[in-house]
Amino acid sequence: MTGVILAIDSGTTAVKATIWSNSLKLIGSASEKISMSYGNQGMAEQDPEEIWNKQRKVIRDVMLKTGTEAGNIASVGITNQRETVIAWDKRDGRPIHQAISWQDRRNSSLVERFRSDHFSFFKSKTGLIPDTYFSASKIQWLLNNVPGIDALIKENRLAVGTVDSWLVWNLSGGSDNVTDPSNASRTMLFNIHSLDWDQEILDILGIPYEILPSVLPSASHIADTSTEAVGFSSPIFSIIGDQQASLLGHGSMSRGQTKSSYGTGAFILTNTGPNPVYDKNLLTSIAFTDESGGRNFCLEGSIFLAGGLMEWLRKSIKIDFNDDDITEITSRVLKNPGLYFVNSLQGLGAPYWDPNMRGAIVGLNYATSKEDLLVSAIASIAYRTKDILRAFEASLKIDINGLRIDGGLTNNPEFNQFLADILGIPITVPANSGSITAKGAAALSLAVFEQIPISEVGKFLNESGESYSPEIDRAIGDRIYHGWQKTLGRLKDL
């Protein structure tokens, strides 16, 4: 391969652009923060124009920063926040509404009805548990609430997609509305067996097939960038949802290899190989597909708040702290037996799926300090990680013997060590972990460019990094975790 790979990473709080060599070495990166607005009834929205304009800016920035000329970009890969829905008018490319974020909880009554009455129907087709987290209820809300949307449908002018679809539309100069199976499998509209939108589900929800993007293999010739849009014309050779991209970027290409990403929320995925594995308490999704018909599946469990929990403590509870205040996590937990922060401010995700569970702090006493509260909050993220890993092990009937992690919380070595202590397994934070998601997209793009199997790019993945091994006796870690389980049990009975 001559030239470099441009990997676009469009996240929830920031957009990035990275440049990679043909051996997947990071050459440079640029990023910009993007905003989120919150409203009543759990509304969470973003500006599609801001997403695109800042994404285009960071592409220019990283090219200038690395001295990359337009003709030197051999291929482009895209990874993105999943489930977030954007609708636009194909005639002028303008959004008809704000992007409805994956965090948005509107239309919850509809989803709760599906969960209680049609759980198996949706689970068997889509691999998902009905929840407002996914795109389906967001699209239905748009169809029922945006003025003039029926006229756009009648005139074949309405396009609806996830963030990847919006980016490809703009990158290609408005020529293609497409997505890939990793993103489509997070909409609750996609049949993960036929690899197409499920007409039966679309009919139930009243969503026209024609407004949805075409679904192309994750690793394939998706489209070409437009010189007018970004200043160069290069093939887009991959699309992959951000969490699946992270799984691939970590080199987790074999069954049972597992990663966890700690951003606003935490997303824990394990590779299940070429066949889907179903569990009533976990999510089954497509990790990626290729042009030869190969497909790779994963199981996923989510923690709705991880880094977002620490931001909530700063902004809503007004606890003034920095990362240096969160120290000696294991020893503080041992000194405060029974102090648990139940991280369910937005309900409790996998494997419990209790949308009505509310947050709580249990075990306070007169001696509890600010630092103790902070430690109990960050410790809850480790407990929730173990909840999900135990569910993975039970479903796959294997022992998970290691975990690779990335995300903002992993910048705190104290958190990484406590995670190893509670899980009782070694933890690895790879080098350049902040770009691990973009690396997954770049890896797929490289495979297409070189016309090689995705497995062959594995030699460039699974980098070594900082390692953490358990430092406390397994029985002590199990005792701490058992206290967490008892606390959850008591709150469920309230």
pLDDT in tens, the chain (494 residues): 678 999 999 999 899 999 999 999 999 999 999 999 988 878 999 999 999 999 999 999 999 999 999 999 999 999 999 999 999 999 999 999 999 999 888 888 888 888 888 889 999 999 998 888 899 999 999 999 999 999 999 999 999 999 999 999 999 999 889 999 999 999 999 999 999 999 999 999 999 999 999 999 999 999 999 999 999 999 999 999 999 999 999 998 889 999 999 988 899 999 999 999 999 899 999 999 998 888 999 999 999 889 888 888 888 888 887 777 677 788 888 888 889 999 888 788 889 888 778 889 999 999 888 888 888 999 999 999 999 999 999 999 999 999 999 988 898 899 999 999 999 999 999 987 788 999 999 999 999 998 888 888 878 887 778 999 999 999 999 999 999 999 998 887 76
pTM: 0.91
In a domain, residue 262? The reply is no
In a domain, residue 99? The reply is yes
In a domain, residue 292? The reply is no
Q: Which domain holds residue 193?
A: 4-248
Which long-range contacts does 328-331 make (Cβ < 8 Å, 24+ apart)?
328/375, 328/414, 329/375, 329/378, 329/379, 329/414, 329/415, 329/417, 329/418, 330/417, 330/418, 330/421, 330/471, 330/472
- Say which residues have a Cβ less than 8 Å from residue 216's Cβ, sequence separation at least 6: 178, 179, 180, 222, 239
State how far the alpha carbon of 205 is from the alpha carbons of 35, 139, 180, 411, 418, in Å: 30, 9, 21, 43, 44
Gap between the Cα atoms of 108 and 111, Å rounded: 5
In a domain, residue 47? The reply is yes
- Say which residues have a Cβ less than 8 Å from residue 259's Cβ, sequence separation at least 6: 246, 247, 250, 252, 268, 269, 403, 404, 405, 406
In a domain, residue 365? The reply is no
In a domain, residue 121? The reply is yes
Measured CA angle at 50 (ends 184, 7), to 5 deg: 55
In a domain, residue 183? The reply is yes
CA-based R_g, the chain, Å: 22
Specify whether the CB–CB gap between 146 and 96 falls below 8 A.
yes
Gap between the Cα atoms of 293 and 402, Å rounded: 30
CATH number of the structural domain spanning residue 40: 3.30.420.40
In this structure, which amino acid lies at residue 42? G
In a domain, residue 344? The reply is no
Q: How many domains does the chain have?
A: 1
